[in-house]
Amino acid sequence: MPEEQAVVARAASGDRRAFEQIYRAYAPTLFSYVLVPMLGDRDDAHDCLRETFLAAYRHLATFTWHEGGLYPWLKTLAKNKARDLLRASGRRQRLRGAFEEHLGTAGSNEPKNPAEEELQRGALRVRIESVLEELNPRYAQVLRLRLLEDRSREECAAALEVKVGTLDVLLFRACKSFRAAADKRGLEVVTEL
């Protein structure tokens, strides 16, 4: 965000327009790269995003400016809000479709801004490709076509020379196989937070 430090200072002193600038700059990234992977649910991610920015507005005066800018601070707030929601909703719900642990972005690799989040996604695709190479070629193909290349069911079925109905079975088997291979390679696919 241009002149971020000045914008943050204005927002911290109660300037609502400055705060809106921050919101518009970072909310989409927090939603797509932090909250959806952690929660696996659009509505929950939406609720957490709102709570994140309300908390940010209340506590912005306590933020101390540093080189990394505001994004890491907002990201920590968002993660805390997501964890609060997961704790409140219970263990069963937290498993559903959440995949934050799969991203393997902990520690020093933690993205510091939206551009780095995008770079991390590129790195993730490389890791995914390396796992796909170990799979049964048909499983790898169904995952590539259906999930990475966004081909329709009919196209996938034609490419794999199966009936459309059989594609669901192939997809299910391929997902199980991917999970096992990823476990072996250290690309975490644990389903617990």
* Site residues for other proteins per CB under 8 A: 16, 19-20, 23-24, 27-28, 31-33, 36-37, 40-42, 45-46, 49-50, 53-54, 57, 95-99, 102-103, 121, 124-125, 128, 143, 147-150, 152-155, 163-166, 168-173, 175-176, 178-179, 182, 189, 191
Residue listed under structure tokens 């809106």: 20
Residue 103 Cβ, how far from other proteins at the closest point, in Å? 8
**Residue (of 109, 116, 53) closest to 81 by Cα position:** 53
State which residue, 32 or 141, has the beta carbon closest to other proteins. Answer: 32
CA distance 75 to 111: 10
State which residue, 66 or 148, has the beta carbon closest to other proteins. Answer: 148
CA distance 35 to 19: 20
CA distance 153 to 156: 5
Residue 7 Cβ, how far from other proteins at the closest point, in Å? 15
- Beta strand segments in the chain, E: none
State which residue, 160 or 175, has the beta carbon closest to other proteins. Answer: 175
Is the distance from CB of 85 to CB of 40 less than 8 angstroms? no
- Radius of gyration, alpha carbons of the chain: 20
Residue 67 Cβ, how far from other proteins at the closest point, in Å? 26
State which residue, 66 or 152, has the beta carbon closest to other proteins. Answer: 152
